Amino acid sequence: MDPTDPIERIHAALEAAVAGVEGGGCPPRLVAAVRHAVFPGGARIRPQLCLAVAAAHGDDDPALTDAAAVALELLHCASLVHDDLPCFDAAATRRGRPSVHRAHGERLAVLAGDALIVLAFQALAQAPARHPARLAPLLSTIAGGVGMPRGIAAGQAWECESQVPLREYQAAKTGSLFAAATMAGAMAAGGDAGAWRELGERLGEAYQVADDIRDVAADPEWLGKPIGRDLALGRPSVARERGLVGALGHFQQLVETAADAVPPCRGASRLRALVHSEAARLVPPAWSARVCQGLPAAA
Amino acid sequence: MDPTDPIERIHAALEAAVAGVEGGGCPPRLVAAVRHAVFPGGARIRPQLCLAVAAAHGDDDPALTDAAAVALELLHCASLVHDDLPCFDAAATRRGRPSVHRAHGERLAVLAGDALIVLAFQALAQAPARHPARLAPLLSTIAGGVGMPRGIAAGQAWECESQVPLREYQAAKTGSLFAAATMAGAMAAGGDAGAWRELGERLGEAYQVADDIRDVAADPEWLGKPIGRDLALGRPSVARERGLVGALGHFQQLVETAADAVPPCRGASRLRALVHSEAARLVPPAWSARVCQGLPAAA
């Protein structure tokens, strides 16, 4: 592997984490379901953020940074597996393949999600303890991104309430783990986490808006999962609230706010470039242009 | 509260852990589902074991012991919530009340289980860091009790395989978290965890055998949950494999092995008493007597 390529570094760390628990008498179908959920994976944006912020702080404990990156990505994968379950989105596809419950059954999808949540924390625990005092705050920050009161589980639980505050819902469902990713990168390298919260939160918000836009406007084959789910499930959606053109404008604004929130540091320009390249991947500029001309987004 | 009463100490620590995440904008139905899963609770045997072993080692960091005890109990509660789901046991009752999915719906049951797993690790992270070097091994041990390759999730996943090795299945489904409980008690107090594995494993095995016996022989009203599920779901069961009399004999033998596995320590007699009182609570001696006379266990 090329250790300077963040995607290869993330892949190697994820592979090592899964390999570390798949032997030793683990039931093979659980291993298969977990592997299905984690590989080949999506954009790996949360661990990429974590690595980039750690690099900005000198990345003096790369094994701890890797563990944090792995934990963030495994928790993200777990949330997708459970979110796709029949009682939630009932999504048949994810990343262009059958969803975990379609491929491996509902029971293994529940268990794979559970096991992935646990594996995230096993990965953190098993990083060599070069800086023992960093572990507790790192653990707390990452767990907060997925738990109560304002992490992903809370975000998904808003969908079970009769009144849904859109901003809190989206901040919990997406923003929280993004903020955990940027802050965890700083913490793993012994830096100040507070300076990185804003970047994560704005980027998470942009992601959620992009998701709403894609749910309305994307080609499902290109997207790799069904579209129109927010509407079908009566979920709050920025695209529904502001219209497609309004949502696209809001997305661009959030991306710029996120880029501006990168604090002064030696990796700042790389981080801003990461923000912009991710934005273009999420909502191709050609779409925005077509929608603003009154044409359908996906040709 | 009486700080010398372990049950009160455990209850106070659980209450503080849940209270710490239920404000701050958490969706109220998720809070209700989580509280339903945790309170009033069952015998709290895993946290009791953790406290008793920590006491045997001097319990020099009681906040860390509490955090470990809370984590163990929350993970146990999470496993019950998910195990009761329609795709697994489809249990309508638990501890004499509606199961979480019956009371709060399937989506909130999935999310409450997820949130409880995460809360277990949040509790560990938030213990005041008086002994930072203890956290990583403690986290690893507790997570190992519920994750892959041999924790609860792996145990439940054996139910999805065509060939189920009974011993590995039961060790993962029950023994692993019991062993984590005794070992975590030692680790939280800076003691040697290895000496406590055997007690936890044998006690966990005894619990699983008791569960199999109760599934066949108990009065469902007394038990607070449906009986006959192992048979209905085609699950491996010691009671089915050895017959009721054989299973009762095996149970008593495991209880004695567990009591004998208490290593020499100042709390040894208290720990042995805990083992025996739990055994009598699980399988009332009057039952064994009736079954061995060829009468039904529950009058």
Give the angle subtended at the CA of B85 by the CAs of B214 and B144, to the nearest 5°.
80
Residues of chain B in contact with residue A149, where contact means CB-CB under 8 angstroms, are 21-26
Residues of chain B in contact with residue A71, where contact means CB-CB under 8 angstroms, are none
pLDDT in tens, A267-289: 899 899 999 999 999 998 887 78
Residues of chain A in contact with residue B139, where contact means CB-CB under 8 angstroms, are 121-122, 124-125, 135, 139
Closest CB to B108: pick one of A108, A119, A157: A157
- Is the pLDDT reported for residue B174 higher than 80? yes
Q: Which two tokens stand for residue A226?
A: 């069904």
Q: For the residues A212-236, what does the mean pLDDT come to?
A: 76
- Give A170→chain B minimum CA distance, Å: 13
Q: For the residues B129-151, what does the mean pLDDT come to?
A: 97
Please name the residues in contact with A80: beta carbons below 8 A apart, sequence gap of 6 or more.
A37, A94
- Give B24→chain A minimum CA distance, Å: 6
Please judge whether B148 and A21 are an interchain contact, meaning their C-beta atoms are less than 8 angstroms apart.
yes
pLDDT confidence tier of residue A298, bands split at 50, 70 and 90: low
Spatial CA neighbour of B99 closest among B118, B84, B116: B84
pLDDT score at A293: 76
pLDDT in tens, B186-234: 999 999 999 999 999 999 999 999 988 888 877 777 777 777 777 777 7
pLDDT confidence tier of residue B1, bands split at 50, 70 and 90: low
Q: Report the alpha-carbon distance of residue B28 to residue A160 in Å, rounded.
A: 10
Q: By CB neighbour count within 10 A (0-12 exposed, 13-18 middle, 19+ buried), where does B276 fall?
A: middle
Please judge whether B136 and A158 are an interchain contact, meaning their C-beta atoms are less than 8 angstroms apart.
no
Residue in B closest to A162 by C-alpha? B29
- DSSP class of residue B129? -
Q: Report the alpha-carbon distance of residue A29 to residue A173 in Å, rounded.
A: 29
Q: For the residues A143-153, what does the mean pLDDT come to?
A: 98
Residue in A closest to B108 by C-alpha? A157
pLDDT confidence tier of residue B69, bands split at 50, 70 and 90: very high
ipTM over 0.90: yes
3-state secondary structure of B228: coil
A280-286 long-range contacts, CB within 8 A, separation 24+: A281/A43, A282/A206, A282/A207, A282/A210, A282/A214, A283/A210, A283/A213, A283/A214, A283/A248, A283/A251
- Give B210→chain A minimum CA distance, Å: 24
Please report the domains of chain B, with CATH numbers, ordered by start residue. Answer: 6-292 (1.10.600.10)
Examine residue A40 and say whether the peptide bond preceding it is cis (omega within 30 degrees of 0): yes
- Give B147→chain A minimum CA distance, Å: 5
pLDDT confidence tier of residue A296, bands split at 50, 70 and 90: low
Please name the residues in contact with B135: beta carbons below 8 A apart, sequence gap of 6 or more.
A132, A135, A136, A139, B64, B124, B125, B127, B129
Mode of pairing for the β-strands spanning B93-94 and B97-98? antiparallel
- Give B222→chain A minimum CA distance, Å: 29
pLDDT confidence tier of residue B297, bands split at 50, 70 and 90: low
pLDDT score at B233: 75
pLDDT confidence tier of residue A213, bands split at 50, 70 and 90: confident
Residue showing tokens 């991104």? A145
pLDDT score at B290: 78
Spatial CA neighbour of B38 closest among B5, B6, B77: B77
- Is the pLDDT reported for residue B299 higher than 80? no
Spatial CA neighbour of A278 closest among A185, A193, A228, A206: A206
The H or E element containing residue B98 is strand B97-98
Q: For the residues B245-250, what does the mean pLDDT come to?
A: 91
Percent of chain B residues topping a pLDDT of 90: 77
Residue from A148, A169, A235 to probe the interface with B (highest B Cβ count within 10 Å):
A148
Q: For the residues B248-256, what does the mean pLDDT come to?
A: 94
Residues of chain A in contact with residue B21, where contact means CB-CB under 8 angstroms, are 147-149
Mean model confidence pLDDT for chain B: 92
Residues of chain A in contact with residue B115, where contact means CB-CB under 8 angstroms, are 147-148, 153-154, 157
Closest CB to A160: pick one of B105, B157, B159: B105
pLDDT score at B224: 74
pLDDT score at A188: 98
pLDDT in tens, B10-64: 999 999 999 999 998 999 999 999 999 999 999 999 999 999 999 999 999 999 9
The Cβ of residue A281 has, within 10 Å, a number of other Cβ atoms equal to 11
The residue among A219 and A159 whose pLDDT is bigger is A159
Mode of pairing for the β-strands spanning A93-94 and A97-98? antiparallel
Residues of chain A in contact with residue B153, where contact means CB-CB under 8 angstroms, are 30, 111, 114-115, 118
- Is the pLDDT reported for residue B291 higher than 90? no
Mean model confidence pLDDT for chain A: 92
Please judge whether A149 and B108 are an interchain contact, meaning their C-beta atoms are less than 8 angstroms apart.
no
Give the angle subtended at the CA of A33 by the CAs of B68 and B117, to the nearest 5°.
20
pLDDT confidence tier of residue B296, bands split at 50, 70 and 90: low
3-state secondary structure of B93: strand
Residues of chain B in contact with residue A25, where contact means CB-CB under 8 angstroms, are 149-150, 154, 168, 172
pLDDT score at A124: 98
pLDDT score at A3: 65
The residue among B180 and B237 whose pLDDT is bigger is B180
Q: For the residues B256-267, what does the mean pLDDT come to?
A: 94
Please judge whether A150 and B106 are an interchain contact, meaning their C-beta atoms are less than 8 angstroms apart.
no
Closest CB to B85: pick one of A25, A110, A146: A110
Please judge whether A149 and B21 are an interchain contact, meaning their C-beta atoms are less than 8 angstroms apart.
yes
**Relative orientation angle of helices B132-144 and B62-83, to the nearest 10 degrees:** 20
Please judge whether A149 and B114 are an interchain contact, meaning their C-beta atoms are less than 8 angstroms apart.
no
